[in-house]
Structures are given as structure tokens and as C-alpha cells.
Chains A and B, each alone.
Chain A
């Protein structure tokens, strides 16, 4: 099975900072990569699919890039409401594996 590895596992940044999370697949997955945001005590929410397509209603400070094995989620200007755990997920084939998550906090 393809493994999904996120880095870092956690980060602390100041409001307004640019934040980058990376996700690496152990084999190529094309652009079949999604990013989810899970706020404390809440249900995961789809932010981005097809590696870079922002879902309706998601703030434009979020962006995704990459293809093949290396992907990036960027928050251009971190806001307090962005405190959450972010997960990448491959969906090109079974199993629909998630990365281990990246916890984003405010410094």
C-alpha cells in the first residue's frame, strides 16, 4: 500500500505568518490528493481536492500544489481560526490513506 507522510507533525507560527505543510506519497498518485482541516472537537472538512482545487467557501489564503509524490498545503497568512490539524489523503485507489496529520498552533 502507498504510505502518506506529512511534515512537520506540528508547528507554531504567528498570526500573519506563511505556513507550509508537506505531504509525500511513497509512490506516485498523480494529483489525486486531498487536504482536510479538523478543528478541535469538530468533523473533518475538505479544503482542497485534486491537489490544488480550493473548495467553495474556503478562504483564498489556503492553497495546494504538487503532483506525483510531493504535495504542499500553504496558508499565506495564518489566522487564529486556522488552528487545527491538517490531513492529506490519497484517493487514486484503495486504500484511501490519510497522512498522520499536522497540528497548527498560534505562537
Chain B
């Protein structure tokens, strides 16, 4: 069965970076796009970007361009999302989510979420 298992909670200081991982299993890793979505405490869902594991490329929401990097390790079927220059408003739960093997797709499977807390 499809599983997306994310790394554990992080506490970071303002200005630091955080790298969240999402390990996929139960399907052919390179065949499916992966998205990153975040949710600040008590707030709604915010799309961050889409990653294509077959070519290692990403399309980012304008808000995150220049501050987010998405990469992968195909040997471990893991996607990484790194967010730089952290500020308090980046405190949120970060989710990875898998689409269909198509660019135009909803999100069918979700990771369990990773809480990132930014605090001095």
C-alpha cells in the first residue's frame, strides 16, 4: 500500500534552515509527482510546490521561490523540502502529498505531517 512517512518535528531559530523528508513506499517512486503543503496553526492549507522525482525538478509557489529547495534521493525513494531563512510565520505542519502520474491531479495520499516550530 502507498505510504508517505515524514521526518520528525523540528524546532529552529529564526534565520535558520529546516529540511523535511518524505519517504515513499508501495509504488514506483519516479512515476508520481509529489507536492508539499503547509498548514499554520489554526489556519488553512497552503500549497508550496510540486516535485517531479523522475527528473528532479520542482515548480514552486511564487511566495516560496528563492527560499525553498526540493530534492530527492531515488535510491531511498525520499523527497526533501528545505526551507531557508526561517521566520516565526513559517511555524506550521508541513505535509507531502502524492498525486497521480499526471501533472494535473488532486492529492490522493498524504504524509503524516511534520511540525516545524520557529522560535527564538
Contact = CB atoms under 8 A, between A and B. Distances in A.
A and B associate in one complex: yes
Contacts of B82: none
Nearest to A53: B106
B95 A91 contact: no
A93 B104 contact: yes
- Would you call the interface of chain A mostly helix, strand, loop, or mixed? loop
Contact of B61 (A49, A55, A95, A99): A95
A49 B59 contact: no
A71 interface: no
Given A44-B95, A97-B47, A98-B46, A91 B104 contact: yes
B47 A43 contact: no
B104 A44 contact: no
Contacts of A38: 45
A25 interface: no
Interface in B71-120: 95, 97, 104-108, 110-113
Contact of B106 (A89, A95, A97): A89
B50 interface: yes
Contacts of B50: 94, 96
B22 to A, nearest CB: 13
Interface residues of B, number: 21
B107 A98 contact: no
B83 to A, nearest CB: 17
A100 interface: yes
B106 A87 contact: no
A92 interface: yes
Nearest to B111: A43
Given A43-B110, A43-B112, A43-B113, A92 B104 contact: yes
- List the 10 shortest-distance A-B pairs measured between CB atoms, nearest first: A34-B106, A49-B106, A98-B45, A96-B47, A101-B44, A43-B110, A95-B61, A100-B44, A91-B106, A94-B59
